[in-house]
Structure 1
Amino acid sequence: MAAFNLTPSDPSTFTLTGIPGLEAFHIWISIPFTMFYIIGLLGNFMLLFVVRKEQTLHKPMYLLLCLLAVTEIGTSTSIVPNALCIFWFNLKAITVGGCLTQMFLIHAGSAMHSAVLVTMAFDRYVAICNPLRYTSILTNTRIAKLGLVGLIRAVLFILPLPLLLSRQPFCANHIIPHTYCDHMAVAKMSCGDITVNRTYGLVLPFVFNGSDLTLIALSYGLIIRAVLRISSKEAHQKALSTCTAHICVMFMSYPSFFFSTLTYRFGQGIAPHIHIILANLYFLIPTMLNPIIYGVKNKQLREKVGKYTCRMYSPGGH
């Protein structure tokens, strides 16, 4: 077992400060955090419920939406309840094991999220460029296998982060100026050599997310080429409209992810509270908006959600 040399009083805990400089406003900050989190949970659980109930939605695209929903519920739940305990009750202590577990869940969730977005891009590519073979190429079983590959990849690549940190010596300073245990926030508390941690933590997102973005760009390049070959303007719009929701989700996810990753290393000019608020919103905003975006853009899903919503609010719930 790794030895953590923290403080004589309680060597087994770290302290999460919340949002540095805005401690007086924690209660007010908790209001949008709570709203975003609850809306996100309701939207994603509704999506999961409707897809599970409706046999007609047991298709690859909707299974991918469910996978995205589960990933987002997991990552946001790894962060928000703990942050709200800091904001509401000033409960700032977290065990070393709890901290490393939270770190793993957050970063593995981000990696899994990226893997799902890649699979969604592949789904759109097949739907537009190979529509006649769609059902034979993308079966539910194949989607499940791709999801499992994404999960295994996330675990294998992210697991070294907490394992490397568990071997680091920590000195008197065990205060993490954050609402959750981000890898670099914890690494910076070490009084040992964190060169390996820094290097792996920097290379990993660029190799991981960079390769995912390359595959997504390749998929969309092939999609655009296929669309340009279609002479009908209406067919152009129909083909591209099927990609709109996926593109919106990507624009919410990747820029904020790279901003958060780079700020820890090169963003000395950015105020810590700005960075930490944005780091939290990176997990909250997509979780809240993704079910709404897909609900608005997908007619079949919108109709099914509407059916169950009407049932809930009708007399007797029938």
Structure 2
Amino acid sequence: MSSSNVSDSLPATLVLTGIPGLEAFHIWISIPFCVMYLIALLGNVALILVIGTESALHAPMYLFLCLLSLTDLALSSTTVPKTLAILWLHAGQISFGECLAQMFCVHFIYAVESSVLLAMAFDRYVAMCNPLRYTTILNHTVIGQIVFAGIVRSVALVSPFIFLLKRLPYCGHHVMAHTYCEHMGIAKLACANITVNIVYGLTAALLAVGLDSILIAISYGFILQAVFRLPSRDARRKALSTCGSHLGVILVFYTPAFFSFLTHRFGHNRVPKHVHIFLANLYVLVPPVLNPIIYGAKTKEIRSRFVRLLRLGKGSVLILSRD
């Protein structure tokens, strides 16, 4: 097929229908989605402000946590406003170019967040297994290189999705049962063989999320060995508490993503469509909501400085009101 014919077969617009089979409950579903999004915004902005304004929290662990909050904000803000517009206003129409842009952002940010979680696991590994060289190994230059490598890898893995989707003919198919655009959802609208899309999508996921999760598991194997060699019970308890926060974040991030990814490719006939779409929304909402809560509640340094920031803010308001 010539490039001009492929170009002509691309739909001008797509229509996102929301959660199929649950149209009557869209308004009710939108309420917890909206509340969760607001909590995610407030929690992650607060975490970024606390870490950014407190020089004592500019250690590698907290800088990676700040990056995690930034990716959480970007991931939820890329998808949830459009989702709420669909659920509230039935505003499901989106141009094909905007849909590709949203698709790219969703997969790119998700891959970057996976890289950040791997970096956080490496941070804990160095802190537990090589504490005397911690500041030497994880200096600001190394942190910058890690972040740059994660961004470059994500761009390299996700960019081909755009070309793989633009080469397909769509034959007038433009209605997608989803609340936001993602690679396989768009590919399934095509009236052509999408084996290449399926194979590359699987390969990209394995090279990003799959590889990261394996490396995280290996690093935590070494971390747990180091923890249980600590002579003090209090030291072991404190180390396990710190690692437990990170493991909780990892499980919250990877569990719904793997479920959604596997059902999209292998279990779409067994898992009801509305269950799959509902879970796809949860994996862009639940991690941004829970990450600040997990770290804010479990990390004493963040909790104490957040309380101090609130007191300073309250004191400033009182002074201004007196004036």
Greater Cα shift, 198-207 or 156-165? 198-207
| 3-state SS, counterpart of residue 170 of structure 2 | coil
2:135 is aligned to: 135
The answer to whether the 8 A contact 1:59-1:140 is kept is no
* Cα deviation 1:269-307 (Å, max 9, x = unaligned): 111111111110111011011011101111111111111
Instruction: Give 1:258's aligned amino acid.
Output: F
Report sequence identity in percent: 49
1:1-318 aligned at under 5 Å gives the runs 3-5=7-9, 11-267=11-267, 268-314=269-315, 316=317
**How many Å apart are 1:314 and its aligned residue?**
4.7
Instruction: Give 1:5's aligned amino acid.
Output: S
**Which whole-Å CA distance do the structure 2 matches of 1:53 and 1:141 have between them?**
21
**How many Å apart are 1:317 and its aligned residue?**
5.2
Alignment TM-score, normalising by the size of structure 2: 0.94
| 3-state SS, counterpart of residue 173 of structure 1 | coil
The answer to whether the 8 A contact 1:4-1:170 is kept is no
Greater Cα shift, 155-164 or 229-238? 229-238
Instruction: Give 1:184's aligned amino acid.
Output: M
**How many Å apart are 1:64 and its aligned residue?**
0.3
Count of residue correspondences = 314
**Which whole-Å CA distance do the structure 2 matches of 1:210 and 1:26 have between them?**
33
Q: What is the root-mean-square deviation of aligned Cα atoms in Å?
A: 1.4
**Which whole-Å CA distance do the structure 2 matches of 1:245 and 1:317 have between them?**
36
| 3-state SS, counterpart of residue 14 of structure 2 | strand
| 3-state SS, counterpart of residue 9 of structure 2 | coil
Instruction: Give 2:32's aligned amino acid.
Output: P
**How many Å apart are 1:105 and its aligned residue?**
0.4
Instruction: Give 2:92's aligned amino acid.
Output: K
| 3-state SS, counterpart of residue 94 of structure 2 | strand
The answer to whether the 8 A contact 1:127-1:134 is kept is yes
**Which whole-Å CA distance do the structure 2 matches of 1:134 and 1:213 have between them?**
23
**Which whole-Å CA distance do the structure 2 matches of 1:4 and 1:165 have between them?**
14
Distance 1:186 1:235, change over 3 A: same
* Cα deviation 1:208-247 (Å, max 9, x = unaligned): 2221112111111111121222232222112211211110
**How many Å apart are 1:4 and its aligned residue?**
4.6
| 3-state SS, counterpart of residue 85 of structure 1 | helix
| 3-state SS, counterpart of residue 15 of structure 1 | strand
**Which whole-Å CA distance do the structure 2 matches of 1:174 and 1:149 have between them?**
36
| 3-state SS, counterpart of residue 159 of structure 1 | helix
**How many Å apart are 1:313 and its aligned residue?**
4.0
**Which whole-Å CA distance do the structure 2 matches of 1:22 and 1:228 have between them?**
49
* Cα deviation 1:142-165 (Å, max 9, x = unaligned): 112211110110011011112210
Greater Cα shift, 177-186 or 217-226? 217-226
Alignment TM-score, normalising by the size of structure 1: 0.95
The answer to whether the 8 A contact 1:48-1:66 is kept is yes
Instruction: Give 1:278's aligned amino acid.
Output: L
* Cα deviation 1:19-56 (Å, max 9, x = unaligned): 11111111111101101011001111111111111111
The answer to whether the 8 A contact 1:16-1:180 is kept is yes
| 3-state SS, counterpart of residue 7 of structure 2 | coil
**Which whole-Å CA distance do the structure 1 matches of 2:81 and 2:8 have between them?**
26
Distance 1:251 1:4, change over 3 A: farther
| 3-state SS, counterpart of residue 44 of structure 1 | helix
* Cα deviation 1:187-220 (Å, max 9, x = unaligned): 0000122110011112221232221112111111
The answer to whether the 8 A contact 1:311-1:317 is kept is no
Instruction: Give 2:98's aligned amino acid.
Output: G
